[in-house]
Amino acid sequence: MDGKGRWVDNAFIERLWWSLKYEDIYLKSYETPRETGRGVGAWLERYNAERPHSSIGDRTPDEAYFGMETESKCRAA
């Protein structure tokens, strides 16, 4: 993210929003803003802590950022 208006700077966040919409929001009928906030928060937690990403070597974003293994992978080993 090094230049104003560069398309490549926005590509990663656009992919995140696409995933959020198609994997959560469009599949659920949230009734209230509070319910939506909780649902999106839970999805983001799973996205960062449990969902492996091929672009970072099938690690979760938490593993890549913090350099750690998640509890679920530690239990499986």
Name the burial class of residue 41, with classes exposed (0-12), middle (13-18) and buried (19+) by CB atoms within 10 angstroms of its CB: exposed
Evaluate whether 60 touches 70 at the Cβ level (below 8 Å): yes
> Which residue in this structure is represented by tokens 């649902």?
39
Q: Is the pTM of this model over 0.85?
A: no
List per-residue pLDDT tens for the chain, 77 residues long.
556 666 677 888 888 999 999 999 999 999 999 999 999 999 999 999 999 988 899 999 999 999 876 555 555 55
Name the burial class of residue 70, with classes exposed (0-12), middle (13-18) and buried (19+) by CB atoms within 10 angstroms of its CB: middle
